[in-house]
Chain A
Amino acid sequence: MQNEELKIKIAELLPTAVFEEGGQWLTINVEPGEWLPFAKQLRNDDALHFDYLFCLTCIDWKTHLAMVYNLDSTKFRHNIVVKVKLSIDKPEVESVCSIWKTAEFHEREVYEMFGVNFINHPDLRLLILPDGWEGKNPIRKDFEDPINMIRL
């Protein structure tokens, strides 16, 4: 489907979705509470069939965090981007591990780097950072390490 068709279809599925203009792909802003049921629809709808989550990351905007999910369909080859805005003090969102298994590792990375809590994640632990780095969230903009700060 082209972006315009996708937009009409998604507006039907989720009337509260807010579309962002100007990007490479159709970008949709979703509330954290609506994300998991919407993700299930994106995966299971026969006309959408978004079965491949090719990128999952987070952006620190200082006032809030934004989760970014890039989705692709191996059947129709259309792409969309879903963004979920989270509060900076208590970032929480439902895990999508049950829908796309690749999310398990990517969410663990976001958990340790940004401190986002993924509800119902099967195994939310540190993946890359060594023990003792819980809660330090080194990729956040306000992170300061007195010894090994990377500043070039």
Chain B
Amino acid sequence: MIEEIGTTTEGDMIINVGPQHPATHGVLHLVITLSGETIKKVEPHLGYIHRSIEKMCESLTYRQFSYVTSRMDYLSSHINNNACALVVEQGLQVEVPERAKVVRVLVDELTRIASHELWWGAMAMDLGAFTPFFHAFRERESINDIMEETCGARLTMNYIVPGGLMQDIHPNFQKRVKHFIQLYKSKVDEYNEMVTGNIIFQNRMKGVGILSKEDAISFGCTGPTARGSGVNCDIRKLYPYEVYHKVQFDEITETGCDSFARYMVRIREMNESIKIIEQLIDNIPEGDFQAKTKAVIKLPKGEFYQRVETARGELGVYIVSEGGTTPYRIKFRSPGFSNLSALDHMARGSKLGDLVAMMGTLDLVIPDIDR
């Protein structure tokens, strides 16, 4: 877009960040109006990876459509699949076996840790520290290995299906998860030593990208982005699904409202996920891993909405059914889309160099935003 490069009538400079920029973590295009080095306006241009998943799902059956959602927020694909399975089960009024529910929570929480690990490594790399990326990927790799063994995939899992699970867990699952917990616990102090306590890192993060509590709610921010501003928005606590009401964990909030607060929420949240996994890993009930459902699912006429907490915030799946085998209309309320809308507000008045720190703590995944 040639006309977007140049200067405005007030003499401000317009620059483009992206779509192919390493700090945008994908193909996000930002058109930034600068006065000197101060940001006056940030305008996101989306759609570089838009696949029209909502329209595509209108011609897919209720068994097929959740496979597409793994490609939305690919870092929390289990949680996306879980949301789709829950909304179909809500329409069918099917009771899922306890074993499936517990395994679902286990894989959801492992996914959350894997996602936060990747975010942490990429975040540090954005700010100029290269080594943490390798440390994060070392632990993330062992989660991927567990997933590979049980689900047969490392990224787009498609393990959670309407009615329960695709197949039973691998016999090694419990052993390997326990091994991962040990590994994680021995490394988490290393993370804090290397990055969190680092004075250069803290100076780059503190007081950067202020988002007040009222603004966070008004912009529809969710997940760690909003919890860094003190908003209680964890769907796992507020509207529990699966077995979240039976496990003990804390909803992490910080009151700093800046990038450092959002960073701390994610770091502390990983420990809460470990707590959930520890409570459940030895208590997986025996029994079926799948409820009996018909091969061709037909949802009754009506509207169904399911909210879940992904690693980035609240995901909503809204299905309008006309009684057939495919949805009449489907809407995915993705967390990244709303979180990104606050970027312009956060960035105004700060320096261009700080924009990377803000984008890093929003934890943007572009396929999730574009859908």
Contacts and interface: CB of A to CB of B under 8 A. Distances in A.
A19 interface: no
Interface residues of B, number: 40
Contacts of B233: 74
10 contacts: A54-B333, A59-B329, A77-B238, A101-B218, A101-B219, A101-B220, A101-B342, A129-B47, A130-B47, A150-B56
A38 to B, nearest CB: 18
Interface residues of A, number: 32
Given A22-B302, A150-B52, A151-B59, A55 B46 contact: no
Interface string B191-222: 00000000000000000000000010111100
B337 A105 contact: yes
Nearest to A105: B341
Interface string A108-150: 0100000000000000000111100000001100000000001
Contacts of B320: 59
A57 interface: yes
A128 B218 CA distance: 22
Interface in A38-84: 51-55, 57, 59-60, 68, 70, 74, 77
B59 A150 contact: yes
A47 B48 CA distance: 43
Contacts, number: 84
Interface of A: 22-25, 51-55, 57, 59-60, 68, 70, 74, 77, 100-102, 104-106, 109, 127-130, 138-139, 150-152
B89 interface: no
Nearest to A102: B220
B63 to A, nearest CB: 13
A127 B46 contact: yes
Given A74-B233, A101-B218, A152 B46 contact: no
A55 B45 CA distance: 21
A53 B338 CA distance: 10
B251 interface: no
Contacts of A51: 217-218
B55 A70 contact: no
B364 to A, nearest CB: 13
